[in-house]
Amino acid sequence: MAFTPRVFSGIQPSGDLHLGNYLGAIRRFVPLQDTHDCIYCVVDMHAITVWQDPDDLRRATREVAAAFIAAGVDPKRSIIFNQSQIVQHAELAWVFNCIARMGWMSRMTQFKDKAGKNSENVSLGLFAYPSLMAADILLYKATHVPVGDDQKQHLELTRDIAAKFNNDYAASIAKEGFEPDFFPITEPLIAGPATRIMSLRDGTKKMSKSDPSDQSRISLLDDADTIAKKIKRATTDPEPLPETVEGLKGRAEADNLVGIYAALSDKTKADVIAEYGGKGWGTFKPALAELAVAVLAPIASEMRRLIDDTTAIDAVLRDGAERGSVIAEATMKDVRRIVGFIR
Ligand code: AQP
């Protein structure tokens, strides 16, 4: 069956948005609006899989919506909403909880990383997170999902859930008159030089909202001075930049900063090395700071303006939820028939 080319992606309102969220996801949302129906979601139900103060959650939800718009997502052309407004996400997630296998979920590395040694004491929601993510995507029969590299395994699970649903319910899908591939096998869009931005303090750790060190990340709302200081203090080895891209191998911090420069300037790492190969950090870090400020400052100022007008942001989220729920309910109506729920 030919599915409408449709993009879905979500960001958790679980802390301060950072450069990794921007380069790995949000920046890439913008051009997709020219080729796809786009649905961009603030996944507040995902956020509460770990404790969120309610006031912080509301603030962060508006901040993520503001970041989408400030980065160039058009709320008229695309659908922007927060997940909890469309109850069908939870409904489909339950069906998928009954499709996904414990073994599949137990292999999710993000759960293992987040739960750490504390796995008996984390929420059941954190364990079931990938099943809700599959519901987010498949509720809209999204064909493509732009995400950072850390979400690759969850996307594979989404594909497994779609395939198992189509297979387990094949007879009912046929009986109800639907095409056999009821849910699409969604493609991840993971590309470019910035699929995994690393911490500025430790090149082996992902830049993350939940890292306790503020120095580990550049937040989208950091001012120019703070951005420059964080880049200046970023951990690096003492060697100058290599003369070739291959020379970045085994130099995690150098590779990360070159990747950030490449992504911010829409170049490849090879272009950046052609310009800065052989130069020292005293030359490269100020150039990177200047570039980061040039790209991020206009986004931060637009975000601040939008966040201040909570009525307008909430209206965007409500409008998106109204439009999104039409698609969501159409899918759920069919799913209820396929599964055998009486209404
Ligand atoms: N470091 C990163 N580099 C590239 N992309 C990244 N993403 C996250 N970190 C990086 C991408 O941003 C999108 C939104 O992520 P999320 O909010 O759903 O959760 P996450 O992946 O768990 O991100 P964080 O920032 O690390 O949050 P916490 O600390 O709360 O877990 C996704 O597309 C993700 O790939």
Q: Are residues 179 and 70 in the same domain?
A: yes
pLDDT given at position 282: 96
pLDDT of residue 4: 87
pLDDT at res. 240 = 96
- Return the pLDDT at 279: 97
Give φ, ψ of 283 to 5 degrees: -90, -45
Decide: 70 and 146 in contact? Cβ < 8 Å. no
Residue 168 domain-assigned? yes
Domain containing 324: what range? 6-195+310-339
Q: How far is the CA of 273 from the centre of ligand 1 (A)?
A: 27
Both 141 and 252 in a single domain? no
- Residues 298, 318: one domain? no
Domain count, the chain: 2
Give catalytic residue positions: 114, 206, 209
Same domain, 59 and 114: yes
Question: What's the rounded Cα separation, in Å, for the pair 55 and 315?
Answer: 18
My answer on whether 329 and 218 are in the same domain is no
Query: Do residues 274 and 330 both lie within one domain?
Result: no
- What DSSP assignment string belongs to 282-336? HHHHHHHHHHHHHHHHHHHHHHHHHHH-HHHHHHHHHHHHHHHHHHHHHHHHHHH
Q: Judge whether 206 lies within some domain.
A: no
In CATH, what number is assigned to the domain containing residue 294? 1.10.240.10
Ligand 1: nearest atom to the Cα of 198 = 1
Are residue 234 and residue 178 in the same domain, yes or no?
no
Judge if 67 and 17 occupy the same domain. yes
Is 18 in the same domain as 49?
Answer: yes
CATH code assigned at 314: 3.40.50.620
In-domain check, residue 200:
no
User: 204 in a domain, yes or no?
Assistant: no
Burial of 244: CB neighbours in 10 Å, binned 0-12, 13-18, 19+:
exposed
* Ligand 1: lining residues by beta carbon, under 6 Å: 11-12, 14-15, 20-21, 24-25, 147-148, 150-151, 195-197, 206-210
Question: How much is the pTM?
Answer: 0.95
Could you tell me if 93 and 68 lie in one domain? yes
What pLDDT shows up at residue 264? 97
* Consecutive 10-residue averages of pLDDT for the chain (343 residues): 92 96 96 97 98 97 98 98 98 98 96 88 96 98 95 97 98 98 97 92 93 96 97 96 96 96 96 97 97 97 96 98 98 98 94
| Nearest CA owner, ligand 1 atom 24 | 208
* pLDDT tens string 243-283: 999 999 999 999 999 999 999 999 999 999 999 999 999 99
Ligand 1 atom closest to Cα of residue 110: 22
Q: Does 166 share its domain with 296?
A: no
Instruction: Kindly state whether residue 330 falls inside one of the protein's structural domains.
Output: yes
| pLDDT given for residue 163 in this prediction | 98
> Residue 81: what pLDDT?
98
What pLDDT is recorded for position 287? 98
